[in-house]
């Protein structure tokens, strides 16, 4: 028998991710995306697979060194639409349900995405980017190696860049239709706005979309839901320009429109709720106003990417629906009724990261991940909870790998609040031995560590470290008061929560070596790492990733800084600069003695690299132990969906720093 080993950073190249699942209309088959890494090119490759729910190996339907994503069955079951990069830009393609070659459906100049079938399977609603002088009929004829002329960039809007796409141009995301048989294109929207598609009305005469069509979208920061008539392109607004709403679905009988959103009562810390719009009476009401949970999947991980929340999935009788919610480190599937009753269909210690429902037969295919299972697809009977595994994507590779499980812990913060988290023992743990221990802090801060696979954690436990990760106040999953408690108090009680986790590890885990504690985190977790080493010398080594060090400069350089600073820190560069400086780790840089590794992506526009540069120079000027690693071309998503080689390099830098200073 082969001796098992712990996992290493490079094993990321061997692991496959399965997700973006879609059940066929009759519930007999499921299409999904399998993503893996081309080990020679260090690039992601995604393909469409189709399987039968009764069993058997899923069959690969698309091939090539491309990204094939977003598979959707036509309602008549004859086709699968998907998005592919095979032509050089993302375009929509069709596959016959009987197999064969894919047919390119769109050839839009700036690509096409987000295909949504009409109920009669004749037409697909999709999005494409258009400049003011472009038409939907303009085709993509730009060669891959064609270079644009060098031009100065003129900026007039406060929102002129985005971490996901970089610097914004004058293109806007618009809605369009394409007839599957005739290939006729119809542009539905226009103007200097971005539109997100929602769904079709059951009779096919209308579609829904979400957008901010207010006079000052850069300042109002809302998302309204609209109904658009296809015949005359008239629109009807369903929400009140006072919140963020989206993920819209229409009930099969046409009487209700469901959506997920909130009215920004707590700005970015507001829990998302389920809302129902009565089409006949033109009334909008919140179904979960008194339910203190977050609707949707907000779990933090570093393995799965590209999966989106499924929204509200109606049952055939239009009396109820299924949805995903997040609670206490888990995501689960719930059933809700139009009267507002909510019942769990699947809620275990696990992460549901993708979902497709056979509403007629109350069955579903779900993607499930746990700390020791990267993720696979399962068929679930939503009435009985019975599970049947459909894919075994990583079983062969993991057969010789030893993974560390995550054991839940709960402890008290200094003010008595309960804080929840997990501890992972080192791989091949030996009773009676003391181990260096690393405390992990997640980003957000309005997100949630969960019972899901985390490659970074497994790499560290395989190297002989214990890992402690928790959800301090500010995290989702523990109610509205808990998630809101961090705003205006960054580095206050949230800092005490994280330190309470370290104290718990020292006093309750007899295998923790108190003299060899490390800490790391990214984004908000990077802020907290910077803050902690400026306020205590408890930790022998620290790694800060894509962090915030200076709220004063963050205000003007981050793509969200001008509003996030007010929402979260409750300070403003113009009217209350001292508040921003008070909560800036850079203010306390003179106190830092802990050896600090600084990791940052050079194309990070969410927490721009100047945040790392300021911290590094301030430390080096004082001759403090530090090192700065810059990742070329990487944005804020480096650890999750960044270049595979750079993701591996990042993990090894983290591991090597702790090896150097913790042993």
Domain finish residue from 192, 215, 232: 192
Instruction: Report, as an integer, the average pLDDT of 603-626.
Output: 98
In order of 71, 104, 393, 433, the CA distances from 107 in angstroms are 18, 8, 33, 62
CATH number of domain containing 404? 3.40.50.1820
Q: Is residue 157 pLDDT above 80, yes or no?
A: yes
Identify the burial level of 557 via C-beta atoms within 10 angstroms of its C-beta, where 0-12 means exposed, 13-18 middle and 19 or more buried. middle
Instruction: Report, as an integer, the average pLDDT of 372-392.
Output: 96
Provide the token pair at 585: 């780790």
pLDDT band at 148 (very low <50, low <70, confident <90, very high): confident
CA distance 17 to 10: 15
- Say if 124 falls within a structural domain: yes
Instruction: Report, as an integer, the average pLDDT of 277-295.
Output: 97
Backbone angles phi, psi at 442, to 5 degrees: -80, 165
Across 426-444, b (16+ Cβ under 10 Å) vs e yields: bbeeeeeeebbbbbbbbbb
Q: Is residue 146 pLDDT above 90, yes or no?
A: no
Strands 320-327 and 172-179: unpaired
CA distance 226 to 236: 5
- Say if 417 falls within a structural domain: yes
Greater confidence (307 vs 17) lies with 17
Number of domains making up the chain: 2
CA distance 346 to 538: 41
Q: Is residue 118 pLDDT above 60, yes or no?
A: yes
Least confident of 217-221, 238-242, 527-531: 217-221
Provide the token pair at 336: 């809700």
Query: Nearest Cα to 611, choosing from 663, 655, 552?
Result: 552
Catalytic residue of the set 90, 356, 523, 553? 523
pLDDT at 389 (0 to 100): 97
Catalytic residue of the set 304, 600, 636, 653? 636
pLDDT band at 143 (very low <50, low <70, confident <90, very high): low
Mean pLDDT, the chain, integer = 96
Catalytic residue check, 523: yes
Domain range for 56 is: 17-141+161-192
pLDDT at 138 (0 to 100): 86
Q: Is residue 581 pLDDT above 60, yes or no?
A: yes
Instruction: Report, as an integer, the average pLDDT of 270-281.
Output: 97
Identify the burial level of 225 via C-beta atoms within 10 angstroms of its C-beta, where 0-12 means exposed, 13-18 middle and 19 or more buried. buried
Instruction: Report, as an integer, the average pLDDT of 317-338.
Output: 96
pLDDT at 306 (0 to 100): 72
Q: Which residues pair with 346 in a beta bridge?
A: 333
Provide the token pair at 501: 């986790």
Instruction: Report, as an integer, the average pLDDT of 200-212.
Output: 98
The model's pLDDT over 61-98, given as tens digits with 9 standing for 90+, comes to 999 999 999 999 999 999 999 999 999 999 999 999 98
Q: Tell me the pTM.
A: 0.96
pLDDT at 288 (0 to 100): 97
Q: Is residue 201 pLDDT above 90, yes or no?
A: yes
Q: Is residue 619 pLDDT above 90, yes or no?
A: yes
- Say if 380 falls within a structural domain: no
- Say if 492 falls within a structural domain: yes
Provide the token pair at 417: 């609040």
Match 């899901």 to its residue by tokens.
452
Share of residues in the chain with pLDDT > 90 (%): 93
Q: Indicate the SS3 state at residue 655.
A: helix
CA distance 335 to 314: 10
pLDDT at 361 (0 to 100): 92
pLDDT at 149 (0 to 100): 82
- Say if 371 falls within a structural domain: no
CA distance 196 to 209: 5
Answer for the pair 15, 374: CB distance below 8 angstroms, yes or no: yes
- List, as own/partner pairs, every contact residues 318-323 make where C-beta atoms lie below 8 angstroms and the sequence separation is at least 24, other chains included: 318/251, 318/252, 318/253, 318/255, 318/256, 321/249, 321/258, 322/355, 322/357, 322/359, 322/364, 322/382, 323/260, 323/274, 323/295, 323/296
Q: Is residue 307 pLDDT above 80, yes or no?
A: no
pLDDT at 656 (0 to 100): 98
Instruction: Report, as an integer, the average pLDDT of 449-468.
Output: 98
Across 253-273, b (16+ Cβ under 10 Å) vs e yields: eebbbbbbbbbeebbbbbbbb
CA distance 28 to 184: 31
pLDDT at 590 (0 to 100): 98
Residues contacting 215, CB < 8 A, separation 6+: none
The model's pLDDT over 637-659, given as tens digits with 9 standing for 90+, comes to 999 999 999 999 999 999 999 99
- Say if 451 falls within a structural domain: yes
pLDDT at 103 (0 to 100): 96
The model's pLDDT over 498-553, given as tens digits with 9 standing for 90+, comes to 999 999 999 999 999 999 999 999 999 999 999 999 999 999 999 999 999 999 99
pLDDT at 140 (0 to 100): 80
pLDDT at 55 (0 to 100): 84
CA distance 5 to 398: 10
- Say if 10 falls within a structural domain: no
Least confident of 1-10, 23-32, 219-228, 449-458: 1-10
The model's pLDDT over 540-577, given as tens digits with 9 standing for 90+, comes to 999 999 999 999 999 999 999 999 999 999 999 999 99
- Say if 279 falls within a structural domain: no
CA distance 522 to 526: 4
Residue 529: how many other CB atoms lie within 10 Å: 30
Q: How far is CA 150 from the centre of its chain?
A: 34
CATH number of domain containing 100? 2.120.10.30
């Amino acid at each position: 028998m082969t001796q098992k080993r712990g996992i290493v950073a490079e094993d990321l190249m061997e692991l496959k991710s399965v997700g973006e699942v879609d059940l066929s209309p009759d519930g007999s088959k499921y299409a999904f995306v399998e993503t893996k890494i081309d080990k020679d090119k260090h690039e992601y490759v995604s393909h469409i697979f189709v399987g039968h729910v009764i069993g058997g190996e899923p069959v690969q339907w698309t091939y090539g060194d491309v990204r094939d994503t977003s598979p959707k069955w036509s309602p008549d079951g004859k086709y699968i639409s998907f998005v592919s990069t095979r032509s050089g830009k993302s375009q929509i393609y069709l596959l016959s349900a009987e197999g064969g070659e894919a047919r390119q459906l769109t050839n839009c100049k700036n690509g096409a995405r987000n295909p949504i079938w009409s109920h009669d399977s004749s037409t697909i609603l999709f999005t494409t980017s258009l400049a003011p002088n472009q038409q939907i009929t303009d085709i993509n004829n730009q060669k891959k190696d064609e270079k644009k002329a060098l031009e100065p960039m003129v900026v007039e809007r406060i929102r002129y860049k985005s971490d996901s796409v970089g610097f914004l141009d004058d293109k806007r995301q618009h809605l369009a239709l394409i007839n599957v048989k005739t290939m006729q294109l119809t542009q539905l929207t226009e103007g200097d706005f971005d539109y997100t598609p929602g769904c079709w009305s059951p009779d096919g005469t209308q579609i829904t979309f979400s957008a901010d069509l207010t006079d000052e979208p850069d300042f109002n920061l809302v998302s309204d839901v609209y109904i658009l008539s296809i015949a005359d392109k008239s629109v009807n607004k369903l929400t009140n320009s006072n919140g963020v709403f989206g993920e819209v679905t229409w009930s099969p009988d046409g009487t209700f429109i469901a959506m997920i959103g909130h009215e920004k009562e707590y700005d970015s810390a507001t829990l998302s709720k389920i809302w129902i719009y009565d089409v006949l009476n033109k009334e909008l009401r919140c179904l979960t106003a008194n339910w203190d949970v977050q609707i949707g999947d907000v779990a933090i991980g570093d393995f799965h990417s590209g999966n989106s929340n499924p929204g509200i999935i109606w049952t055939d009788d239009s009396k109820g629906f299924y949805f995903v919610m997040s609670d206490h480190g888990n995501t689960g599937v719930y059933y809700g009724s139009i009267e507002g009753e909510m019942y769990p269909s699947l809620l275990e210690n696990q992460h549901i990261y993708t979902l497709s429902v056979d509403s007629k037969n109350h069955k579903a295919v779900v993607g499930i991940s746990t700390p020791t299972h990267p993720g696979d697809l399962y068929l679930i009977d939503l009435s009985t909870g019975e599970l049947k595994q459909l894919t075994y994507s990583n079983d062969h590779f993991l057969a010789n790998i030893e993974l560390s499980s995550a054991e839940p812990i709960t402890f008290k913060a200094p003010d008595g609040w309960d804080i929840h988290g997990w501890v992972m023992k080192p791989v091949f743990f030996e009773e009676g031995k003391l181990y260096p221990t690393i405390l992990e802090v997640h980003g957000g801060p309005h997100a949630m560590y969960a019972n899901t696979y985390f490659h970074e954690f497994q790499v560290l436990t395989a190297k002989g470290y214990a890992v402690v990760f928790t959800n301090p106040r500010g995290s989702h999953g523990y109610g509205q008061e808990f998630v809101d408690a961090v705003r205006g108090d960054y580095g206050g009680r949230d800092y005490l929560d994280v330190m309470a986790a370290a104290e718990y590890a020292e006093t309750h885990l007899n295998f923790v070596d108190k003299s060899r504690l490390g800490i790391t985190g990214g984004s908000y977790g990077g802020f907290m790492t910077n803050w902690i080493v400026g306020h205590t010398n408890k930790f022998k080594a620290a790694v800060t990733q894509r962090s915030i060090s200076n709220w004063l400069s963050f205000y003007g350089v981050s793509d969200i800084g001008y509003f996030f600073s007010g929402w979260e820190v409750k300070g403003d560069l113009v009217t209350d600069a001292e508040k921003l400086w008070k909560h800036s780790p850079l203010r306390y840089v003179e106190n830092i003695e802990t050896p600090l590794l600084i990791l940052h992506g050079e194309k990070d526009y969410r927490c721009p690299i100047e945040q790392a540069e300021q911290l590094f120079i301030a430390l080096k000027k004082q001759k403090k132990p530090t090192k700065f690693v810059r990742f070329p071309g990487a944005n804020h998503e480096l650890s999750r969906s960044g270049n595979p080689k750079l993701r591996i390099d990042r993990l090894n830098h983290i591991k090597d720093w702790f090896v150097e200073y913790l042993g």
